[in-house]
Amino acid sequence: MFSGAALGAGVLIVAVLFAVAMFLVIQALPTFSAAPADITGGKGFVSYIFPIVVGTLIAAAIALVIATPIGVAVALYISHYAPRNMARGLGYVVDLLAAIPSVIYGAWGATFLASQLKVPYQWLADNAGWIPIFGGPASGTGKTILTAGIVLAVMVLPIIASLTREIFLQTPMLHQEAALALGATRWEMIRMAVLPFARGGIISAVMLGLGRALGETMAVALVLSSGPMIASLIRSGNQTIAAEIALNFPEAFGLRLNELIAAGLVLFLITLLVNMVARWIISRHKEFSGAN
Amino acid sequence: MVRNPQTPIEEVNRVKALHIGRVAAVLTVGALALTACGTDNAVTPGNGGSSTSAAAGASVTGTLTGTGATSISAAMDAWKAGFESANSGATVQYSPEGSGAGRKALIAGAVQFAGSDAYMKDAELASAKAKCGAAGAIDVPWYISPIAVAFNVPGVKDLKLDADTIAKIFRGDIKNWNDAAIKASNPSVTLPNLAITPVHRSDNSGTTDNFTDYLAQAAKSVWTDAKSGDWPAALPGENAKGTSGVVKTVTQTAGAITYADDSAVTDALGKVELKVGDSYVPVTAEAAAKAVDQAKPVAGRSANDLSLKLDRTTTVAGAYPAVLVSYAVFCGSYPDAKTVDLVKAFGHYAVSDAGQQAAVSAAKSAPLSAALAAKAKAAIDSITVAAK
């Protein structure tokens, strides 16, 4: 009976996923058959969605570049360095970061973080303006894709930290003691026994964080001052798919609605692709499972 | 430090601590989740409004559901409070999801009334006949609000600008506050050397629709884009979500300027006086009402549809042309008498003196003129029970 229930649950999940995919495809179809001049922007769906896809990937990339090293470092500290009592408390605090609603993060980013970052952005524009990503006159309000990326990093951090913490705690004691017995320092032991064992787990944690960063809607919609795709990270501009849908959906009508759902379909496919790549990467490292 | 193997005592303590910790974590997360639930702040009925309620006869009962424009949120709270205190068995629910969402919901039959900053398009009126009967839907203006052009320039609270200058500022052609064009109409004001940061709405909005309509009509040579609820894509710049978003952004950014519903603009920001004819008109409720009085009905609509086409180039002294008229969209007929009574009672209350005064004190809106209110009441009276 349990196997039947488990099978039922599995089938249900696949069925729901399939139903969502079908909804997206059916609602998005009119967009692909419409004349290019009717699509927002007047040049067809690809030229409409491409800048937004790039914006989504940029924001997610910024979030991961910031959150991954910090998350792994926090997890390592909690699992191997911190005194036992403090480790538990620290773990709960980091997990609580995940409990904060994303709207709150958006409000914090828009009102506090953006105004604090105005001065650093101006400094970057003055001193590093020759690098394209720091180019041009800095945004007067600080509400740029970089600010949105930083807010996303804070939101993704607890996911990466708590998952990698659990992985680190599961490192075989045998390997750790063996390394120490051979005279390794604590850091060398971590490098030799913990990190290689946890590599697959770190990648899955990062992929889960990436999934959240790609789909995060309200925080980006509130923080980002959207606009056309630009290379500079410190000027207003760029847009993510989720924020585009959230801002325009209530007023969308007819073909515009189909366009937005087509954008949602594109995001769905990107997330699917990212997850498949992650699974493939993890499967390549399966040989080192700790038993050998 | 490698975790040491557990002695039995340590194991017991560890399990105990884990158990307590788990409970603590669940309680903390639960407490946080509960703080996210909140009820709307109850608004006390406007002074003197409820005792002289215009709702005639016996009070109505039932639940009235509507959705739509966010611009009328403050007024809707006042109307809810006044109507519910006069009709103890009645409840009004309104969720501000956007004018387009409201009109869509009404057409789909999901709500009984919609709030919309734009009157129903012809295509929408045709679709509305499916759920609203042969009479279709009717637009009844019930909220007039001036759109303030608010700015954050230290030391300056008031500027006189004509439509061309405002259009150039929002297009980025005028880049600094000490520009000659701004100084020309404000000779006595000391303007700092500060870059101008125009801020617009990132979401589709009735405020944007009305403001771009004003610029397109009054500054034709400079503002070459058509009026639209979306800011022109060719003019990228700072933007924020919602009225509160743009006001917050401007309050935090020296040199920023935006357009927003006057009720949301705080005293921390300065406001622009618009040039009308040869004089400058500050943003006030009376000036907004005067501008609406100059409006003409939209052609090709039924007699009960009071959609208005506003003349933004009016030269009538004391009229403020950047004004937003928000409509209640009702069905021409409803399936049962109870809904009809409820809708009519609420509609009558909202456009009555009592309702309009409540809206004025809650939202700083402009009350409907007597003539417009009378027409609105007549239109609401035309709502009937659908023939079976």
Q: For the segment B213-249, what is each residue's pLDDT rounded down to a tens digit?
A: 999 999 999 999 998 888 998 888 899 988 889 999 9
Residue B13 contacts A, CB cutoff 8 Å: no
Nearest to A140 among B17, B197, B236 (CB): B197
Tell me the pLDDT band of B23, cut-offs 50, 70 and 90.
Answer: low
Which of B56-65, B124-133, B304-313, B353-362 shows the lowest per-residue confidence on average (mean pLDDT)?
B56-65
DSSP string, B128-179: HHHHH-TT-EEEEEEEEEEEEEEE-BTTB-EEEE-HHHHHHHHHTSS-BTT-
Question: Residues of B with CB below 8 A from A81's CB?
Answer: 1
What ipTM was predicted for this assembly?
0.80
pLDDT over 60 (residue A5): yes
Across the range B10-23, mean pLDDT stands at: 69
Q: Evaluate whether B81 touches B49 at the Cβ level (below 8 Å).
A: no
Residue B15 contacts A, CB cutoff 8 Å: no
Q: For position A37, what pLDDT does the model report? A: 87
> By a Cβ cutoff of 8 Å, what residues of chain A touch chain B?
40-41, 80-81, 88, 92, 95-96, 99-101, 110-111, 114-115, 118, 139-141, 143, 169, 173, 176-177, 180, 186, 189, 221-222, 225-228, 236-237, 247-248, 250-253
Q: Evaluate whether B334 touches B383 at the Cβ level (below 8 Å).
A: yes
Tell me the pLDDT band of A188, cut-offs 50, 70 and 90.
Answer: very high
Tell me the pLDDT band of B134, cut-offs 50, 70 and 90.
Answer: confident
Across the range A221-229, mean pLDDT stands at: 92
pLDDT tens for each residue of A123-169: 999 999 899 999 888 898 999 999 999 999 999 999 999 999 999 99
Strand partners, B279: B276
**Closest CA in chain B for residue A239:** B202
Q: Which of A141, A144, A235, A255 to mutate against chain B (most B CBs within 10 Å)?
A: A141
pLDDT over 70 (residue A11): yes
Across the range B2-16, mean pLDDT stands at: 66
Which of A198-202, B254-258, B344-348 shows the lowest per-residue confidence on average (mean pLDDT)?
A198-202
- Taking the C-alpha atoms of residue B151 and residue B379, their distance in angstroms, rounded to an integer, is 39
pLDDT over 70 (residue B44): no
Q: Evaluate whether A156 touches A209 at the Cβ level (below 8 Å).
A: yes
Where is pLDDT greater, at B344 or A287?
Answer: B344
User: Are A111 and B97 inside 8 Å of each other by CB?
Assistant: no
- Taking the C-alpha atoms of residue B124 and residue A198, their distance in angstroms, rounded to an integer, is 58
pLDDT over 80 (residue A104): yes
Q: Take residue A63 and report the two structure tokens written for it.
A: 């979030």
User: Are B100 and A253 inside 8 Å of each other by CB?
Assistant: yes
Q: For position A250, what pLDDT does the model report? A: 75
Question: What is the Cα B125 distance to its own chain's centre?
Answer: 22
Nearest to A140 among B2, B33, B256 (CB): B256
**Closest CA in chain A for residue B196:** A140
pLDDT over 80 (residue B21): no
Tell me the pLDDT band of A28, cut-offs 50, 70 and 90.
Answer: very high
Helices and strands, counts by H and E, chain A: 12, 0
pLDDT over 60 (residue B35): no
Strand partners, B145: B324
- Taking the C-alpha atoms of residue B215 and residue B371, their distance in angstroms, rounded to an integer, is 28
Minimal C-alpha gap between B270 and chain A (Å): 18
Q: Is the pTM here over 0.90, yes or no?
A: no
Tell me the pLDDT band of B354, cut-offs 50, 70 and 90.
Answer: very high
Q: Evaluate whether B169 touches B194 at the Cβ level (below 8 Å).
A: no
pLDDT over 50 (residue B42): no
